[in-house]
């Protein structure tokens, strides 16, 4: 059989989580909490489950949830999104990213991605018949090389994918970055896909700069957000996309034939929770900054070197003082022999990573982080 994705295997997150389970390792690899979602949210799920909210909801998401999303986007980003035509609920952010790519990328189009890039971007591009153009972010801050981007834009460039806060590097885009991007594409027919699933995890007093806050970019962008990340419920696979009506119309054409719609009673529960507990999202950065600070403090006496993450719930560390192995081999050894699972950077890059960097996930109970740190400090 001729594969449509010949270079794609099993995602690194599945590989490392299985390895962690097989070897009884502490799983700081795949990005999901080991603590539960809020009690009130669970109570609302049960309420709506027993209230009979168990049939197909509308294709774009229930009106109540789309209205709450619109309210939230207005509050946080001063962006007015019409809940009828510019907000769509999806079965996870990966679906939203896929739908956006399929909606606007045609065979032969080029899509610019920045390495390390989340691993779902390129397969979506290839399945649309497009070509991913990989541009390396500039270490150690993992910033965009604007001269390289300018020289890489061609008449075939259809879409640029940005990700802030950035997975796996934990960097954030600034307002100046968004202005630079707008300057580069102002006279061109280029769209933006902005992956903002870690929007409420930005630290040290910084603010998340959503593409929706930019008066030019918001008119030509898809912005993707995640309920799973925000509400500690990654297994629910619920997310949403915001875009202006012409773009959203194309997005929905794809969405309706990928999942059509998403779990009904979960949508009702989240809509109620958003209305009753808006402070949850507001307080999330402080919650995760405390975990970042704890984890960084716990491993400060280790042989890993690092700069505290600016966003997300991931921390990159340099292990060059511990091992000369490549990142895949080191992460495998760390999991199998030492009992802590991490994610290597190579699967996020077109070229194997030369840097001795791995990613730890700190969205864990404090006791989990302490157990892992004891092992890491002893290396």
Residues 27 and 20: beta-carbon distance below 8 Å: yes
Token couple for 110: 């080029």
Residues 303 and 322: beta-carbon distance below 8 Å: yes
Percent with pLDDT over 90 in the chain? 93
Token couple for 248: 């959203």
pLDDT of 353 higher than 80: no
The ranges assigned to domains in the chain are 12-37+281-377, 39-279
Same fold, 12-37+281-377 and 39-279: no
pTM: 0.97
Using pLDDT thresholds of 50, 70 and 90, give the confidence band for residue 251. very high
Tell me the torsion sign for CA atoms 92, 134, 194, 309.
positive
Among left, alpha and beta (phi > 0; psi -120 to 50; other), residue 52 is left
Tens digit of each residue's pLDDT (9 = 90 or more) over 282-314: 999 999 999 999 999 999 999 999 999 999 999
Q: Give residue 217's pLDDT.
A: 98
At the second CATH level, the architecture of 39-279 is 3-Layer(aba) Sandwich (3.40)
Rounded Cα distance, 252 and 246, in Å: 10
Residues 73 and 242: beta-carbon distance below 8 Å: yes
**Long-range contacts, stretch 40-46, CB < 8 angstroms, 24+ apart:** 40/273, 40/276, 40/277, 41/231, 41/233, 41/269, 41/270, 41/273, 44/268, 44/269, 44/270, 44/272, 44/273, 45/265, 45/266, 45/269
Which position has the token pair 């507990």? 277
Burial class for 367, CB neighbours closer than 10 Å (0-12, 13-18, 19+) = exposed
Tens digit of each residue's pLDDT (9 = 90 or more) over 1-54: 889 998 888 888 888 889 989 999 999 998 999 999 999 999 999 999 999 999
Q: From 3.40.1170.10, 3.90.1150.10, 3.40.50.300, 2.60.40.10, which CATH number describes the 12-37+281-377 domain?
A: 3.90.1150.10
Q: Among candidates 131, 126, 136, which has minimal Cα distance to 111?
A: 131
Tens digit of each residue's pLDDT (9 = 90 or more) over 317-350: 999 999 999 999 999 999 999 999 999 999 899 8
Rounded Cα distance, 222 and 148, in Å: 23
């Amino acid at each position: 059989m001729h594969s449509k994705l010949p270079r794609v295997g099993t995602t690194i997150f599945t590989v490392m989580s299985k390895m962690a389970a097989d070897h009884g390792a502490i799983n700081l690899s795949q990005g999901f909490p080991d603590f539960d979602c809020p009690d009130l949210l669970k109570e609302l799920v049960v309420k709506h489950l027993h209230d009979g909210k168990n049939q197909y909801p509308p294709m774009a998401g229930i009106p109540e949830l789309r209205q709450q999303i619109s309210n939230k986007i207005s509050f946080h980003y001063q962006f007015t999104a019409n809940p009828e035509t510019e907000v769509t609920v999806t079965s996870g952010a990966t679906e939203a990213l896929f739908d956006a790519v399929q909606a606007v990328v045609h065979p032969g189009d080029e899509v610019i991605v920045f390495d390390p890039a989340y691993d779902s971007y390129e397969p979506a591009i290839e399945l649309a018949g497009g070509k991913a153009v990989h541009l390396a972010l500039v270490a150690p801050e993992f910033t965009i090389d604007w001269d390289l981007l300018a020289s890489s834009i061609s008449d075939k460039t259809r879409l640029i994918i940005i990700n802030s806060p950035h997975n796996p590097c934990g960097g954030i885009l600034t307002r100046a970055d968004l202005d630079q991007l707008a300057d580069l594409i102002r006279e061109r027919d280029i769209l933006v896909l902005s992956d903002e699933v870690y929007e409420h995890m930005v630290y040290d007093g910084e603010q998340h700069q959503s593409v929706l806050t930019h008066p030019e970019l918001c008119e030509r962008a898809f912005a993707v957000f995640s309920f799973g990340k925000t509400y500690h419920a990654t297994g629910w696979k619920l997310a949403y996309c915001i875009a202006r009506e012409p773009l959203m119309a194309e997005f929905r054409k794809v969405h309706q034939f990928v999942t059509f719609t998403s779990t009904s009673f979960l949508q009702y529960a989240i809509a109620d929770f958003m209305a009753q507990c808006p402070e949850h999202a507001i307080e999330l950065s402080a919650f995760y900054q405390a975990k970042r600070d704890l984890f960084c403090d716990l491993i400060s006496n280790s042989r890993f070197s690092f700069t505290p993450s600016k966003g997300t719930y991931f921390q990159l560390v340099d292990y060059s003082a511990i091992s000369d192995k490549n990142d895949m081999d080191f992460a495998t050894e760390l999991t199998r022999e030492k009992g802590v699972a991490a994610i290597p950077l190579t699967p996020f890059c077109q070229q194997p990573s030369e840097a001795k960097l791995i990613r730890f996930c700190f969205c864990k109970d404090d006791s989990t982080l302490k157990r892992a740190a004891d092992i890491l400090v002893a290396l």
